[in-house]
Amino acid sequence: METIRNAMQRPAPALVDGFRKVLSEYSPSCLVTDARRRVGAIGGLLPVVPQHKIAGPALTVSMSIDDLVDCMPVLALAEPGDVIVIACHGTTTTAMWGGLMSTLSLKAGITAGIVDGAVRDVDEIRDLGFPLWYRSTVPRPSPTAVHDRVEPVQVNVPVVIGGQVVNPGDIVVADENGIAVVPTAIAADVLEGTHRQIDKERIVREKINSGATVQELLVEFGHL
């Protein structure tokens, strides 16, 4: 695995802000996934704090599955508002994120971390209030925490998490339901579709509270 450090082309701030405004709704990751017609969903990762909801451009990191290493140097390439997405290929024997990484990320203005692998120091991360999604926990640190060596890390390359491709600069929306991935090229259309979904669900809730039956709702909306 060769070392790669690409620059990231970030989406327009107004577009990212549009998705951040959706976070005030129930289940924003579901709304965005529905707008994408069930495409772009990642499940199986849990938030340290269930109430956290985030949106931001993905700074992607691909780790070697043979010898996972410290990813702290990635912060030098990050900008405020980024979401660091680390593909550890589901490996759970080594923690790739912890309390110090969370503290540094907070100081750098990082929106959140998403780790397809193990993390540690979850009590500290919870107290810090840093939004972090993870696959599992383990106390064992990365090799570079105890050995003075540098291993290859690929930054801002396409990664795959839970069968879903995440490209650098994709907008990710995450909550306790999971993670939605939106390619920048279609983000404006998806955001528009998300608002249509919000409006539809608001109307459906109102009709349910007014006594509408399932049959009546299916006739009007086709599906719920």
> Domain-by-domain residue ranges, the chain?
4-221
Question: What pLDDT shows up at residue 172?
Answer: 98
How sure is the predictor about 204, in pLDDT bands with cuts at 50, 70 and 90? Answer: confident
- The string of pLDDT tens digits covering residues 167-189 is 999 999 999 999 999 999 999 99
Please give the CATH superfamily to which domain 4-221 belongs: Ribonuclease E inhibitor RraA/RraA-like (3.50.30.40)
Question: How remote is the C-alpha of 170 from its chain's centroid?
Answer: 10
Residue 150 has pLDDT above 60, yes or no: no
- How is 41-53 classified by DSSP, letter by letter? EE-S-EESSTT--
Angle, helices 187-209 vs 13-21, to 10°: value is 20
Most confident range (mean pLDDT) of 9-13, 37-41, 86-90, 93-97 is 9-13
Question: What pLDDT shows up at residue 66?
Answer: 64
Model's pTM, two decimal places? 0.92
Residue 5 has pLDDT above 80, yes or no: yes
Residue 57, strand partner residues: 171
Question: What pLDDT shows up at residue 162?
Answer: 92
**Separation of alpha carbons 214 and 18, rounded Å:** 32
How sure is the predictor about 104, in pLDDT bands with cuts at 50, 70 and 90? Answer: very high
Question: What pLDDT shows up at residue 33?
Answer: 97
Mean pLDDT of 120-131: 98
Q: Which two tokens stand for residue 132?
A: 């972090």
**Separation of alpha carbons 63 and 75, rounded Å:** 15
C-alpha count within 13 angstroms, C-beta hemisphere, residue 165: 4
- The string of pLDDT tens digits covering residues 13-49 is 999 999 999 999 999 999 999 999 889 999 999 999 9
Q: Over pLDDT 70: what percentage of the chain?
A: 93
Mean pLDDT of 78-82: 97
**Which one-letter amino acid corresponds to residue 218?**
L
**Separation of alpha carbons 124 and 137, rounded Å:** 13
